[in-house]
Amino acid sequence: MKTLQGISVAALLAAFAMTGFAQTQSQPFHLYNRLRVGYDDNIYSEEDDKQKSFRLVEEIEVKLNLALERLYVGIDYRPSLLWEPERESDETDFLHDLTASLSYNLTPQLTFSFKDTLRASQLPELESDGYRVRADDDNYNNSAVATLAYNVLPQTRIDLSGRYSFLEYNEDEREADNYWQAAGGASLRQQLASYTTVFADFRYQALRYPDAKSELKRDADSFYGGVGLEQTLSDKLVAMIRGGVQHREYDLDRFDDNTKPYVDGSFTIMPTPDTRLTLSGGYSVSESDVGAYASENRGTLALNLAHDFTDKLTLYANGSVAFSKFEGDYSFNEAEYGDDDETSYLASARLSYRIHRINWLELGYTFTKMDSDVLGQADYDRNRVDLGWKIQLF
């Protein structure tokens, strides 16, 4: 765990180390402070006997956007201190949210890019940018992606990419749910016209649960192959869709190989210069966040909106729903865990008002809900509201 904590500390130190250099590059380095007060009506995500609490969040945000002739470096690191006085065992917690990215043009035809996302939290969330944690426990979730893009011809590009991610809980009783994933693959992209691009993908993924008992391991190897299309329908509408077949092989012989289609897509609509709307969705076989099953069939649908009412007042809103199908054939105990369904919901909105050049007022609301037929999984809903003040320190 000390190694994991070092990731966030190192990122923050790196950002400050570059401050002197950054200040000479048209101010790409900025530091913000946020102070939020709020209310949570179900701090333990319980179905009954909901525990309510006042919330206080103090957050520092470090942002670096450094663009040179061939190099781009971006860092967005947000450590925060959470205080909820009604949490009996631990009323305070130190949270982390880090996104670091780098892009370097090795040659006019060859580009290397890297992105790392780290989140450290205490309480579970259902669905937020693909981040899912079900247990009420301190945890680290990290995802790192590296891509090498080569333009064979002006209209033809080959992408070679690799990804490594992990989820790790702090408490020993949750260690069976710790996992890591490693994936690698290639994508061939061909631009057919100014507004049309087609591509073909192949990817291999390894999933491992290193701390689980041998008879309860959900380890698997997956192979993906498919095609896709990106289309600029107009200057206000961009669409992408991809799909194919995935083949999943489980390490435990008790589970049959699983072959199913996968699909994902998105539509981005910009009806006015002040409004941006993105609708996205997908379906695939994925790692199960319920330990009684080796995997789950998961579908998602999400909507994101950003709208500027005025130069000072902006609305950010998003909503998502995730549908999970658990099959008894892939459970460790078919007598108790058969074919079950689960649906989770997340909706949030934030209004940001810029008082003047370096000060903002922010009002936020978040709703989460779980509707599960799985044995031992609670149904619940949760509401959080907060009012905050944001200031740019430099």
Q: Half-sphere exposure of 164 toward its Cβ, with a 13 Å CA cutoff?
A: 2
Q: Is the pLDDT reported for residue 270 higher than 90? A: yes
Q: Is the pLDDT reported for residue 145 higher than 70? A: yes
In the structure, what pLDDT confidence band is assigned to residue 2 with cuts at 50, 70 and 90?
Answer: very low
In the structure, what pLDDT confidence band is assigned to residue 167 with cuts at 50, 70 and 90?
Answer: confident
Q: Which domains does the chain have, with CATH numbers?
A: 2-392 (2.40.160)
- Which pLDDT value is given to residue 46? 84
Q: Is the pLDDT reported for residue 288 higher than 70? A: yes
Residue 24's CB: how many other CB atoms inside 10 A?
A: 8
Report the mean per-residue pLDDT for the chain: 88
105 vs 234 pLDDT, higher one: 105
Strands annotated E in 68-173:
71-77, 80-83, 92-105, 110-121, 139-153, 156-169
Q: Is the pLDDT reported for residue 20 higher than 60? A: no
CA 155 from chain centre, in angstroms, equals 31
Q: Is the pLDDT reported for residue 94 higher than 50? A: yes
Mean pLDDT on 153-166 = 95
Mean pLDDT on 92-96 = 87
Mean pLDDT on 121-143 = 62
Among the ranges given (58-67, 118-127, 147-156, 265-274), the one the predictor scored with the smallest mean pLDDT = 118-127
Cα separations in angstroms, 376 against 290, 340, 354: 10, 12, 46
Q: Residue 29: which of 38, 37, 18, 40 has the closest Cα?
A: 18
Which are the contacts of 343, defined by CB distance < 8 A and separation ≥ 6?
A: 321, 322, 323, 324, 370, 371, 372
Cα(46)–Cα(62) distance, rounded to whole angstroms? 34
- Which pLDDT value is given to residue 132? 52
- Which pLDDT value is given to residue 15? 43
161 vs 357 pLDDT, higher one: 161
Give me the percent of the chain exceeding a pLDDT of 90. Answer: 68
DSSP string covering 231-296? EEEETTEEEEEEEEEEEEEESSTTSPPEEEEEEEEEEEEEEETTEEEEEEEEEEEE--SSTTBS-E
- Which pLDDT value is given to residue 1? 46
Helix (H) / strand (E) element for 15: namely: helix 2-17
Q: Is the pLDDT reported for residue 286 higher than 70? A: yes
> How wide is the angle at C-alpha 300 spanned by C-alphas 346 and 169, nearest 5°?
65
Q: Is the pLDDT reported for residue 225 higher than 70? A: yes
The residue assigned the tokens 């919330």 is 55
Give me the percent of the chain exceeding a pLDDT of 70. Answer: 89
Chain segment 367-379, per-residue pLDDT in tens: 988 898 988 887 8
Residue 231's CB: how many other CB atoms inside 10 A?
A: 15
- Give Rg (Cα) of the chain: 22
Cα(112)–Cα(249) distance, rounded to whole angstroms? 31
